Amino acid sequence: MAQEAMYEGHKGQLDTNDNDAVSRREYQAFMATAFGKLDADNDGSLSQAETPNILSANQFATTDANGDGRVSRDEFMNRVMKDFAAADKDGDGRLQ
Ligand SMILES: [Ca+2]
Ligand SMILES: [Ca+2]
Ligand SMILES: [Ca+2]
């Protein structure tokens, strides 16, 4: 079963110019901001304790690509941009 993408439930916030489509740029900006908000202790990475409602243990483990128990900004952005690519089925760089 496919994992639920992190943007589910945030589409209204993601579409910042209100054109009923989420561009890659809108998505990326939202996720970069989200990372900053989630990183409560500002150490540049996310612990599982910082993401209790965002990532399940399983999602955390798959996002933590190097398995050090922390999700770095790069690991986070890689993961969410993969979600974007998977959701963008027609490959036009926008989610409708
Ligand atoms: Ca838009
Ligand atoms: Ca942190
Ligand atoms: Ca890591």
Taking the CA of 60 as reference, the closest ligand is 3
C-alpha of residue 77 to centroid of ligand 3, in Å: 12
Give mean pLDDT, residues 19-36: 95
Lowest mean pLDDT among 5-9, 50-54, 55-59, 90-94: 5-9
Domain containing 76 equals 19-87
Q: Output the domain CATH number for residue 45.
A: 1.10.238.10
C-alpha of residue 21 to centroid of ligand 2, in Å: 31
- What's the CA gap between 43 and 57, in Å, rounded? 20
Look at residue 75 and tell me if it is in a domain: yes
Taking the CA of 71 as reference, the closest ligand is 3
Look at residue 46 and tell me if it is in a domain: yes
- What's the CA gap between 41 and 59, in Å, rounded? 21
Nearest Cα neighbor of 16 from 24, 39, 8, 41 is: 24
C-alpha of residue 68 to centroid of ligand 1, in Å: 35
Query: Taking 60 as the threshold, does the pLDDT of residue 75 lie above it?
Result: yes
